[in-house]
Amino acid sequence: MSADSSQSLLPDLLVEIRSVSFGYENNLVLRNIDLTVRRGQVVAILGPSGCGKTTLLRLIGGQLKPSRGEVMVDGLAVPQLDRDDLFQLRRKMGMLFQFGALFTDLSVFENVAFQMREHTDLPEEMITDLVLMKLHAVGLRGAHELMPAELSGGMARRVALARAIALDPMLILYDEPFAGLDPISLGVVSKLIRTLNDALGTTSVIVTHDVATSLDIVDYVYLISDGRVVAHGRVEEIRASSDPFVQQFIKGEADGPVAFHYPTGDYASMIFPGHGD
């Protein structure tokens, strides 16, 4: 943790999620989730596709409200905040969206500069320096004049990453930061997330299904399946766990406690209606 003495006065837990349930219409997605993130840590939320990871990030960011339970960020109850207070809190958060969500009418440079222009009165030269620095960190300084439509999927993701960290937020939420990256970018981006976190004293939450990469850089892991936390612990504990679910997920096997298929009826009876009659 940072040597800054003021740090010790702040609550140690930056994100606290207490028995949260959430459903879209009548489809219950999260069931009674408990999850905490300590200040200064990098925490991974791992889980199969569709288990509610993005939903969880949206609850932390206050875009969705839980049907039950508490979501606290920096000591504030997020669902109860009014719009102004929520926006005040969000100024200290950065979010990388799963599909980038770059502003398609702005160049790469302007995308990264967006929050600086909206929220600060920095002089133009300083904005230029900062933006190029952020783009350099993701290896795309040379692409600053391109429009988002001219980027490849992986490049767009890295620009989105540069934009998420533009204002050096206190909490960064990464939704699938590793998806669609080539091995070199993957290495650079994963190290970047770790370095940023340690250098700036931020806290990071990474949502991903890339187990191998995330286990290399994070401090703490939550494994989620079917809307529940099925295991959590420090990286060594997770690696050493004998829980069959954890083993299946880490090794990537199709058979095990996690079903690969979205719940449905019997395969044979769907293909051959009347088969069982």
Partner 1 sequence: MLLQPLAGIGGKANGLFSRVGLAGRFLLETVYYSGMCLRRPRLVIKEIYFVGVLSLAIIVVSGLFVGMVLGLQMYDTLDRFGSGEVVGMVVALSLVRELGPVLSAILFASRAGSAVTAEIGLMRATEQISAMEMMAIQPIARVVTPRFWAGVISLPLLTSIFNVTGILGGYLVAVNLLGVDGGMFWSEMQDSVDFRLDIMNGFDKSVIFAIAVSLVAVFEGYHATATAEGVSRATTRTVVISALLVLGLDFVLTAFMFRGI
Ligand X SMILES: Nc1ncnc2c1ncn2[C@@H]1O[C@H](COP(=O)(O)OP(=O)(O)OP(=O)(O)O)[C@@H](O)[C@H]1O
93, with CB counted inside 10 A (0-12, 13-18, 19+), is buried
Half-sphere exposure at residue 116, Cβ-oriented, CA atoms within 13 angstroms: 24
Out of partner 1, ligand X, Mg ion, none, which partner does residue 55 contact, by CB within 5 to 8 A per kind?
ligand X
Which two structure tokens, joined as six digits, stand for 194?
């770790």
- 213 lies in the binding site for ligand X (CB under 6 A): no
Among 13-21, 84-92, 206-214, 229-237, which window interacts with partner 1 (CB under 8 A)?
84-92
- 248 lies in the binding site for partner 1 (CB under 8 A): no
- 264 lies in the binding site for ligand X (CB under 6 A): no
Q: Which is nearer to ligand X, 16 or 226 (CB)?
A: 226
Distance CA 244, CA 247 (A): 5
Among 9-17, 43-51, 184-192, 237-245, which window interacts with ligand X (CB under 6 A)?
43-51
Q: What is the 3-state secondary structure (H, E, C) of 205-216?
A: EEEECCHHHHHH
Smallest distance from ligand X to CB 208, Å: 8
What residues line the site for Mg ion (CB under 5 A)?
54, 98
- 87 lies in the binding site for partner 1 (CB under 8 A): yes
Distance CA 209, CA 240 (A): 19
Among 30-38, 101-109, 123-131, 267-275, which window interacts with partner 1 (CB under 8 A)?
101-109
Q: Which of the residues 236 through 255 are near ligand X (CB under 6 A)?
A: none
Which two structure tokens, joined as six digits, stand for 117?
């222009």
- Nearest partner of 29 among 47, 44, 3, 6, judged by Cα: 47
Asked if 109 contacts 159 with a C-beta cutoff of 8 angstroms, the reply is no
Q: Which is nearer to partner 1, 54 or 225 (CB)?
A: 54
Query: CB atoms < 10 A from the CB of 126, how many?
Result: 11
Which two structure tokens, joined as six digits, stand for 243?
């829980």
The beta strands (E) that lie in the chain are given as: 13-24, 27-38, 42-46, 68-73, 76-77, 93-96, 171-175, 203-208, 220-225, 228-234
- 55 lies in the binding site for ligand X (CB under 6 A): yes
Which two structure tokens, joined as six digits, stand for 211?
């187990």
Q: Which is nearer to ligand X, 140 or 206 (CB)?
A: 206
**Per-residue binding letters, 44-83, with partner 1 (x by CB under 8 A):** -----------------x-x--------------------
**Per-residue binding letters, 102-121, with partner 1 (x by CB under 8 A):** xxxx--------xx--xx--
Smallest distance from Mg ion to CB 98, Å: 5
Which residues sit at the interface with partner 1, rule CB under 8 A? 61, 63, 87-88, 90-91, 93, 95, 97, 99, 101-105, 114-115, 118-119
